[in-house]
Amino acid sequence: MSTVVLVYSGGLDTSVCIPLMRDEYGFSRVVTVTVDVGQPAEDIRQAEERAHTLGTEHTTVDAKAEFIEQYCWPAVQANGDYQGYPISTAIARPLIALKAVEVAKQIGADAYAHGCTGKGNDQFRIEYIMRTLTPDLAIIAPMREGRKMPDGSRSPWTRTEEIDYAEAHGISVPQTRDKIWSIDENLWGRSIEGGHLEEPDYSPPEEIFQWTRGIADTPAAPANVEIGFENGVPVTINGEALSPLDLVSRIHALAGEHGVGRVDVMEDRMLGLKVRENYECPAAVTLLTAHRALEALVCTQAELKFKSLVDREWGEMAYKGLWYDPLKEDLEAFILRIQERVCGTVRLRLWRGSCIVVGRRSDWALYNEDLASFDSKTFDQSESVGIVKTHGMQSRMYWALRNRSK
């Protein structure tokens, strides 16, 4: 009996994959795996119901705590960002693939399947993990490989064709021909794409947003919140110690209520395609803002300059899903050393879609009020004269030579 493990979200792409595994690929046993990294409970329930209706052996893995502690927290320490938005979907995919690998090993599966298209990033992230940990298992990607035509050739699937196929096989899915956008959610972020949302000049309708209020609907008064950090990881809200899951959930709700976390970007995908993406990341935007402020207080100028390069490289590797790459481990060795001093508190004001730092404090602060204050005489300002005279000496010499040649 041939067995395939299908990474299953319960959405259109992966639901269509179930009958395809039997009818076109000949698998007699289809095992679906849904990994809970913070999707709505109703989505998890519907995925379980669809899997049962479609006759698969189904497993749901609760990985929310692991996702925050092993994936989101490293992203905070590395100021995880890609082209202007907090990395969210990208850091969940390696964990989802890892759980599918664990199930495949337990049941002795022959192959994996997923619903990623040939245009997107997820095919790279998921298959990298599978090939790294179980290189001998086959990987099937029906949406990428295309539908089988009468002459034996394959033609790429369109979203409309997938909906038609789903209807023909009695599969109930949330997408319609009018609202065809695709939504991916986890505890760190929510991405919305597809349909008219792909057009760079299309104004997204308010109805696509679920986590953040529109500016007109936010409270009139701002919210002030204090985030406490230890080793670069948030641990308290307003002095109250919380579990990682509770802390993210609370910041998520508070920031979203004040409209914080909407991001609209033109994103360069791994294949070179430039696409328009909409994200909601209220907790991520808030916590990353606080973390950067605290790093700016405790790190030297040279450390901050170098870490910006390290963070960018880490972000690109995380975006590509290269979770086990040795360079990523090397970068994290530097990041973690820096985080030993990223301890303290940051006060933020959330209001009308903005997240503004209004104060920060740390025992490791590289700030001395007596030296920095204009009212202090501790720093002998006359000693700056010699330094100022030599400032830019070579460029001044160049300028003199250039003017002489005219």
Tell me which residues are annotated as active site.
13, 93, 122, 182
**Radius of gyration, alpha carbons of the chain:** 25
Distance CA 268, CA 274 (A): 5
Distance CA 359, CA 336 (A): 24
Contact present, 370 and 377 (Cβ < 8 Å): no
Distance CA 282, CA 252 (A): 5
Contact present, 346 and 359 (Cβ < 8 Å): yes
Distance CA 303, CA 130 (A): 36
Distance CA 169, CA 190 (A): 29
